Chain A
Amino acid sequence: MLRITGGKVYDPANKIDGQIKDLNIDADGKFSDGQCDSRTIDATGMIVMPGGVDVHTHVAGGAINFARAMTPEDHRRTQAFIRTKTRRSGLGGMAPTTFATGYLYAGMGWTTVNEAAVPVLSARHTHEELADIPIVDKSTLTLMANNEIMLDQMEAGEYERARDVVAWYIWAAKSYGVKAVNPGGVAAWKWGGDARNLSSPIEGYNKLTPGTIVTQLARICDDLGLPHPMHLHCNDLGAPGNIKTTLDTLKHLEGSRAHIAHSQYHAYGGDGWETICSATAELAEYFNSHPNITTDAGAVIFGDTVTITADGPWQHLLYKLTGRKWGNLDVENETGCGIVPYTYRPSNLVNAVQWACGLELLLLIQSPWQVFLSTDHPNGGCFWRYPEIIKLLMSRDFRDECIKKLPSNIKNKIVLPEIAREYTLMDVATSMSAGPARALGLKQKGNLGTGCDGDVVIYDQEDDPGEMFAHPRYVIKAGEVIIDDGEIREAPDGREYIAKPFYDPATNDFMRPLFEDCYTMQFENYPVEIERVHGASIHDCKNDQDS
């Protein structure tokens, strides 16, 4: 179907580091050994990588859709996608519309995205939105760490029940895995509170602590054999001195796999906004000695954005700090979300520290198989600005130039100026594609080996990595040329990956009365029907009963 010849290939999964290699993609859109005699792309002098994989982003569902409604001023000034024969209309910007999201990701060479926060109650909505995001393949994570039915099981010491409940919810949501946000804190927020300490009982419970939730939920994800480990947004996000909480959380995870989301927001020292400083060295050290844990940077880029997170209490604080608009949506029994527009400024000391922390983590964590490129879109910045981060990682000179624009009193608050490391193209390919694909358990992604999905991005070699990564020469999805010379040629529908963990069939009867007690819809109407998921691809999980 497609042949790519003569390119310098960077394929970390197969340890190919810049060697010239031809690639063949068969009629099923997968890499094959056999040669095919159809279209050939001559990639001589070009750089070839597996399509990007975003391990943590917010592109569809109630929260981002709330953010869209709240930011008409951004839509007016942003890049518009004018309808043509090959694409539908839409808007880019801080909270891009669905069609534009697909075009923007693909336009930058990303071909798989993981929507990291879905309440089960509105999962049907999220899937409908994802169906309207063209080109890229997708997966979703279900918000679990504040689900009261599950918390009640943990409080009662019913681990197996809690595990069955989690599995039941994942299948009801037709999602791919578990996201834990501020365990216990969002539940407390429903009374206007928060949970910032791992070992104090959560408001409304006698003995259940955030620490217990963290430990048990990570174990549940492992026991269920989910392809992706627990995806954790730690307690105490964004607060000065939260490194203590983060390290404490990591200790609660010992023995389990885990992915720590947007760790930049959890790596601060100091004890107030005046004394906030980077504590990334401590956090990176932990990662360097614990290879079973992965993370994504959640890097901050200066400029306007809109922050959206299930972390309601943090958003209320941010609203009070900024005096700007505030949206909040609490979701019955499960979770909540908050939305606040925000501008990161280099002149603002706190923002400058945040900016440095994201880059520091990406540079100080030695293995790019452990730390991935992300901005926690749109929280730290918009995903379409990833090429700027790549440039910062690849060029120390450029970093130094940017550091000069920061307030002068930042000197002893960050370590970035002392870091000499520069990313190689192999590092970039690992951090943007091979690493996140492996962490997500998507074996067919981020890998140019035989049998894997034919998702490829091809760049003209340029001196400025920012330019090079922003404007790929070709983007290929499942063997189809999607982007050629900056133009969208095709906009096929993507797939959606779903996990099907095992649970005791009696869970349904167990759930019904609890459900009817705290929800307001019919039990039968709650699970998303599989027919409603566009292009569903089901991953059967291996659970401990089988092994």
Chain B
Amino acid sequence: MGIKLTLIRQPTVPLEAEVLCPDTLADCSADEIAQLTIYHGKRQLPLSDFFEIEGEKSDEIEIHGDLKKVRWIGRGMSRGRLKIQGDVGMHLGAYMRDGLIEVKGDAGDWIGAEMKKGTIRIDGNAGGQIGAAYRGSRRGMRGGLIHVTGSAGLEVGMRMRRGIIVIGGSTRDFTGLQMKGGTILLGEGAEIRTGAWMNRGTIISLKALEVMPTFGIAIRQFTPPFMPLLAKALVSEGITLPENKSFDLYNGDLAVPGRGELLVLSS
């Protein structure tokens, strides 16, 4: 028996609700949940002003409704499961430490920003700065997995250090910007400036994309030895990689100079 929350009225300005997090809700009775503070703009309101609440004391949470303006859900969560039916706003699962977030709908910017561990799955499109470093931070995500079935925005995986980001569709500019480690897998390629200023880490694209002029071709028609391992790791997440494909391997970004790897499916 989990907790079910349903949005009962649309916020007129952003609604910041970091209390919507298994760590916070797991120890709360129904009354306590209703009294948790959320921020509608500058107004502090009880959660029950915006949500109908069923259940209590659980780290299995379901949230329903058009949550596009609701921000910071699952901030820093370390356990349990968040299931979201509907579109969701910025900073979903930011600073996440463990657990699972599943969204049926689209997500906003900054999902999984600076996360350390855990899994975020978006069955839909997502915004920019996925798994990224917040402005000025030296490091983005440090572990875990983010999977977006649809497309994503700018600066995906900016300054990420470790972990995996899988985007089923395509991404916009600056994917893997200043990347320091980890893996980004792009199902449908990306717009421009992929891997700009990257230092280390791996970007794999299953579709041709525009390579930055500061990446040097290392090997053509290359079968990366780690692909079976990656494929195996992703199978449990329901992601299947095409087998026996060969890639063109580029190294860069020479401007840094960095030793990142950009693997683009050979045409």
A and B touch in the complex (CB under 8 A): yes
Residues of A at the B interface (CB closer than 8 Å) are 70-74, 76, 324
Whether a CB of chain A sits under 8 angstroms from the CB of B50 is: no
Q: Which parts of B112-159 form the interface with A (CB within 8 Å)?
A: 134-138
How many residues on the B side are at the interface (Cβ–Cβ under 8 A)?
Answer: 5
Beyond A70-B136, A72-B135, A76-B134, list 10 extra A-B contacts (CB 8 Å). A71-B136, A72-B134, A72-B136, A73-B134, A73-B135, A73-B137, A73-B138, A74-B136, A76-B136, A324-B138
Interchain CA distance A73-B136 in the complex, whole Å: 5
Interchain CA distance A105-B39 in the complex, whole Å: 31
- Among A70, A73, A76, the one with the most B-chain Cβ atoms within 10 Å of its Cβ is A73
Interchain CA distance A324-B139 in the complex, whole Å: 12
Query: Which residue of the partner chain B has the closest CB to A70?
Result: B136
Interchain CA distance A324-B135 in the complex, whole Å: 14
Query: Which residue of the partner chain A has the closest CB to B137?
Result: A73
Interchain CA distance A72-B137 in the complex, whole Å: 8
- Among A70, A71, A76, the one with the most B-chain Cβ atoms within 10 Å of its Cβ is A76
| Majority DSSP secondary structure for residues of A touching B | helix
Q: How far is the CB of A345 from chain B (nearest CB, A)?
A: 15
> Which residues of chain B are within 8 angstroms of A72 by Cβ–Cβ distance?
134-136
Interchain CA distance A324-B138 in the complex, whole Å: 9
Query: Which residue of the partner chain A has the closest CB to B135?
Result: A72
> Which residues of chain A are within 8 angstroms of B136 by Cβ–Cβ distance?
70-74, 76
Interchain CA distance A76-B136 in the complex, whole Å: 10
14 residue pairs bridging A and B, Cβ less than 8 Å apart: A70-B136, A71-B136, A72-B134, A72-B135, A72-B136, A73-B134, A73-B135, A73-B136, A73-B137, A73-B138, A74-B136, A76-B134, A76-B136, A324-B138
Q: How far is the CB of B43 from chain A (nearest CB, A)?
A: 15
Q: How far is the CB of B58 from chain A (nearest CB, A)?
A: 30
> Which residues of chain B are within 8 angstroms of A70 by Cβ–Cβ distance?
136
Number of A-B contacts (CB under 8 A): 14
Q: How far is the CB of A373 from chain B (nearest CB, A)?
A: 30
Interchain CA distance A74-B135 in the complex, whole Å: 10
Interchain CA distance A74-B136 in the complex, whole Å: 8
Q: How far is the CB of B7 from chain A (nearest CB, A)?
A: 28
Q: How far is the CB of A89 from chain B (nearest CB, A)?
A: 12
Interchain CA distance A273-B171 in the complex, whole Å: 46
Q: How far is the CB of B72 from chain A (nearest CB, A)?
A: 13
> Which residues of chain B are within 8 angstroms of A73 by Cβ–Cβ distance?
134-138
> Which residues of chain A are within 8 angstroms of B138 by Cβ–Cβ distance?
73, 324
> Which residues of chain B are within 8 angstroms of A71 by Cβ–Cβ distance?
136
> Which residues of chain B are within 8 angstroms of A324 by Cβ–Cβ distance?
138
Q: How far is the CB of A74 from chain B (nearest CB, A)?
A: 8
> Which residues of chain B are within 8 angstroms of A76 by Cβ–Cβ distance?
134, 136
> Which residues of chain A are within 8 angstroms of B137 by Cβ–Cβ distance?
73
Interchain CA distance A324-B136 in the complex, whole Å: 11
Q: How far is the CB of B142 from chain A (nearest CB, A)?
A: 15
Q: How far is the CB of B84 from chain A (nearest CB, A)?
A: 25
Q: How far is the CB of B75 from chain A (nearest CB, A)?
A: 13
Q: How far is the CB of A413 from chain B (nearest CB, A)?
A: 30
> Which residues of chain B are within 8 angstroms of A74 by Cβ–Cβ distance?
136
Q: How far is the CB of B16 from chain A (nearest CB, A)?
A: 15
Interchain CA distance A73-B135 in the complex, whole Å: 7
Query: Which residue of the partner chain A has the closest CB to B133?
Result: A73
Which 8 pairs show the lowest CB-CB distances between chains A and B? A72-B136, A73-B136, A73-B137, A72-B135, A71-B136, A76-B134, A73-B134, A73-B138
Interchain CA distance A324-B134 in the complex, whole Å: 16
Interchain CA distance A252-B136 in the complex, whole Å: 44
> Which residues of chain A are within 8 angstroms of B134 by Cβ–Cβ distance?
72-73, 76
Q: How far is the CB of A51 from chain B (nearest CB, A)?
A: 35
Query: Which residue of the partner chain A has the closest CB to B139?
Result: A73
Interchain CA distance A410-B161 in the complex, whole Å: 33
Interchain CA distance A71-B136 in the complex, whole Å: 6
Interchain CA distance A220-B78 in the complex, whole Å: 64
- Among B134, B136, B137, the one with the most A-chain Cβ atoms within 10 Å of its Cβ is B136
B162-198 near A? 1/0 per residue, CB < 8 Å: 0000000000000000000000000000000000000
Interchain CA distance A470-B98 in the complex, whole Å: 36
Q: How far is the CB of A88 from chain B (nearest CB, A)?
A: 15
Interchain CA distance A73-B134 in the complex, whole Å: 7
Interchain CA distance A284-B246 in the complex, whole Å: 69
Q: How far is the CB of A111 from chain B (nearest CB, A)?
A: 33
Q: How far is the CB of B116 from chain A (nearest CB, A)?
A: 15
Interchain CA distance A309-B261 in the complex, whole Å: 39
Interchain CA distance A74-B134 in the complex, whole Å: 11
Interchain CA distance A208-B134 in the complex, whole Å: 49
B60-78 near A? 1/0 per residue, CB < 8 Å: 0000000000000000000
Interchain CA distance A71-B137 in the complex, whole Å: 9
Interchain CA distance A245-B135 in the complex, whole Å: 41
Interchain CA distance A70-B136 in the complex, whole Å: 7
Q: How far is the CB of B95 from chain A (nearest CB, A)?
A: 11
Q: How far is the CB of B163 from chain A (nearest CB, A)?
A: 19
Q: How far is the CB of B263 from chain A (nearest CB, A)?
A: 27
Interchain CA distance A74-B138 in the complex, whole Å: 11
Interchain CA distance A356-B110 in the complex, whole Å: 43
Q: How far is the CB of A409 from chain B (nearest CB, A)?
A: 29
Q: How far is the CB of A85 from chain B (nearest CB, A)?
A: 16
Q: How far is the CB of B83 from chain A (nearest CB, A)?
A: 29
Q: How far is the CB of A68 from chain B (nearest CB, A)?
A: 11
Q: How far is the CB of B155 from chain A (nearest CB, A)?
A: 16
Interchain CA distance A76-B110 in the complex, whole Å: 15
Query: Which residue of the partner chain B has the closest CB to A73?
Result: B136
Query: Which residue of the partner chain B has the closest CB to A71?
Result: B136
Q: How far is the CB of B108 from chain A (nearest CB, A)?
A: 19
> Which residues of chain A are within 8 angstroms of B135 by Cβ–Cβ distance?
72-73
Interchain CA distance A376-B246 in the complex, whole Å: 58
Interchain CA distance A544-B167 in the complex, whole Å: 77
Q: How far is the CB of B136 from chain A (nearest CB, A)?
A: 4
Interchain CA distance A273-B138 in the complex, whole Å: 26
Q: How far is the CB of B248 from chain A (nearest CB, A)?
A: 31
- Among A70, A71, A72, the one with the most B-chain Cβ atoms within 10 Å of its Cβ is A72
Q: How far is the CB of B77 from chain A (nearest CB, A)?
A: 19
Q: How far is the CB of A432 from chain B (nearest CB, A)?
A: 33
Query: Which residue of the partner chain B has the closest CB to A72?
Result: B136
B203-224 near A? 1/0 per residue, CB < 8 Å: 0000000000000000000000
Q: How far is the CB of A54 from chain B (nearest CB, A)?
A: 27
Q: How far is the CB of B42 from chain A (nearest CB, A)?
A: 10
Q: Which parts of B84-101 form the interface with A (CB within 8 Å)?
A: none
